[in-house]
């Protein structure tokens, strides 16, 4: 495994690769590090489909608001490199922020549809930061394939749109969410949870599952079902930001009743103490 700490070294490697091995497939796994089994599953899937796997580890300042957790975000490079190596990663790209963004960097990439609701409504500028770094990584690595977790479904739809709208020749894969045995979706932010919060945290996914079941079986509209579930979570110590059912992949229209052959995203974001957790279920009725 080779670790590139500088953009220039990665670019030199990529240029040489294009000259010497133009037919071999490059797969990109973008992450912010503090790697866990969810990230490992992305590497594993790329290993199966590509000749060389590039893992990027970069806590992207552009996607954090001033009042968010950029400073506290866990950074564990030594453990990350170990896991990356165990998973068979070929290249790790681990740059510094000043290398990625020059002091006069002033560009932001804005998307006007799928990034507007859900997390986009509560984290101003977040998806501009995500789209900007992902496009930069695409340019630097020039992958044939890129993989993103469906745990961040809105991000997955955003990057799919980026590829489509900007005519990028990259195949995107959406990977299923890896969970703890009690249902909690793995996340680098789970390590912020104190023992009591960790005990409560699985309720987030349980609520999604309950809501999903009721959406399939009850005659009540989604607005009423989700309202009840949201109140239940709030009375159990969560502060729910949103619990919504939207048509996917546009994420524009809130719906009250599921229809056949349509895709939906049932998504939640909630604070548990100071930790913001997100999760979702993708729904399609055949
Ligand atoms: P992050 O480091 O949190 O920015 O995540 C990097 C990538 O890993 C993103 O594509 C995430 O959607 C994906 N990811 C994060 N958590 C999980 C999980 N529990 N299961 C599968 N993929 C995940």
pLDDT tens for each residue of 35-70: 999 999 999 999 999 999 999 999 999 999 999 989
CA 153 to ligand 1 centroid distance, Å? 10
List Cβ neighbours of 51 (8 Å cut-off, separation of 6 or more).
21, 24, 25, 26
Give the mean pLDDT of 74-97. 98
The catalytically annotated residue of 39, 98, 126, 212 is: 39
Where would I find the beta strands (DSSP E) of 91-204?
Answer: 91-93, 145-149, 171-175
Which CA distances in Å does 275 have to 73, 183, 256? 11, 17, 29
Nearest ligand 1 atom, CA 179: 19
CA 218 to ligand 1 centroid distance, Å? 32
List Cβ neighbours of 152 (8 Å cut-off, separation of 6 or more).
278
pLDDT tens for each residue of 264-285: 999 999 999 999 999 999 999 8
**42 CB within 6 A, ligand 1:** yes
Q: Report the 10 Å Cβ neighbour count for 46.
A: 28
- Interior CA angle at 64 toward 60 and 67, to 5°? 145
Active site residue 112: no
**Is the pLDDT score of 118 beyond 90?**
yes
Residue whose CA is at the smallest distance from ligand 1 atom 12: 149
Provide the percentage of residues in the chain whose pLDDT is more than 70: 100
Give the mean pLDDT of 66-86. 95
Phi-psi region of 34 (alpha: psi -120 to 50; beta: other; left: phi over 0): left
pLDDT at 94: 98
**Is the pLDDT score of 157 beyond 90?**
yes
Q: What is the rounded distance in angstroms from the CA atom of residue 25 to the CA atom of residue 68?
A: 37
Asked if residue 283 lies in contact with residue 258, where contact means CB atoms within 8 angstroms, the answer is yes
Q: How many CA atoms lie within 13 A of 25 on its CB side?
A: 13
pLDDT at 285: 86
Q: What is the rounded distance in angstroms from the CA atom of residue 228 to the CA atom of residue 225?
A: 5
DSSP letter string over 183-243?
SPBP-GGGGG--HHHHHHTTHHHHHHHHHHHHHHH-SS-HHHHHHHHHHHHHTTTEEEEEE
Q: Which of 6, 187, 3, 133 is nearest to 77 (CA)?
A: 3
Which CA distances in Å does 240 have to 118, 125, 227, 234? 12, 20, 11, 6
**185 CB within 6 A, ligand 1:** yes
pLDDT at 273: 96
Asked if residue 31 lies in contact with residue 95, where contact means CB atoms within 8 angstroms, the answer is no
pLDDT at 59: 98
Give the mean pLDDT of 238-266. 96
Query: What rounded mean pLDDT belongs to the chain?
Result: 97
User: String of b and e for 55-68 (b: at least 16 CB within 10 Å)?
Assistant: bbbbbbebbbeeee
**80 CB within 6 A, ligand 1:** no
pLDDT at 196: 97
Q: What is the rounded distance in angstroms from the CA atom of residue 286 to the CA atom of residue 283?
A: 10
Residue 223: pLDDT band by 50, 70, 90 thresholds?
very high
pLDDT at 229: 98
Q: How many CA atoms lie within 13 A of 188 on its CB side?
A: 19
pLDDT at 286: 80
Backbone torsions φ then ψ of 269, nearest 5 degrees: -135, 135
**189 CB within 6 A, ligand 1:** no
Nearest ligand 1 atom, CA 42: 22
Give the mean pLDDT of 95-108. 97
Nearest ligand 1 atom, CA 185: 19
Q: Residue 147: helix, strand or coil by DSSP?
A: strand
**175 CB within 6 A, ligand 1:** yes
**149 CB within 6 A, ligand 1:** yes
Nearest ligand 1 atom, CA 187: 16
């Amino acid at each position: 495994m080779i670790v590139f700490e500088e953009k220039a070294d990665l670019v030199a490697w990529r240029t040489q690769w294009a000259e010497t091995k133009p037919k071999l497939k490059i797969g990109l796994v973008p992450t912010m590090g503090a790697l866990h089994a969810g990230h490992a599953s992305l590497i594993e899937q790329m290993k199966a489909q590509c000749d060389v796997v590039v893992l990027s580890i970069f806590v992207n300042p552009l996607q954090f608001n001033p009042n968010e957790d950029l400073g506290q975000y866990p950074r564990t490079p030594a453990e990350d490199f170990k896991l990356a190596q165990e998973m068979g990663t070929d290249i790790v790209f681990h740059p510094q922020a000043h290398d990625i963004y020059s002091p006069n960097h002033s560009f932001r990439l804005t998307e006007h549809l799928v990034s507007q609701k859900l997390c986009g409504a509560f984290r101003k500028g977040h998806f501009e930061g995500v789209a900007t770094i992902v496009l930069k990584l695409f340019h630097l690595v020039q992958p044939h394939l890129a993989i993103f977790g469906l745990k961040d479904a809105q991000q997955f739809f955003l990057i799919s749109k980026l590829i489509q709208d900007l005519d990028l020749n990259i195949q995107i894969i959406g990977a299923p969410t890896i969970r703890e045995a009690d249902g909690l979706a793995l996340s680098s932010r789970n390590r912020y949870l104190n023992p009591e919060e960790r005990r409560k945290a699985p309720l987030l996914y349980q609520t999604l599952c309950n809501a999903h079941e009721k959406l399939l079986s009850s005659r009540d509209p989604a607005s009423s079902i989700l309202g009840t579930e949201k109140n239940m979570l709030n009375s159990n110590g969560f502060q729910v930001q949103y619990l919504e059912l939207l048509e996917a992949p546009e994420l524009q229209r809130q719906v009250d009743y599921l229809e056949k052959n349509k895709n939906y995203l049932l998504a939640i974001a909630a604070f548990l103490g100071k930790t913001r957790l997100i999760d979702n279920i993708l729904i399609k009725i055949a």
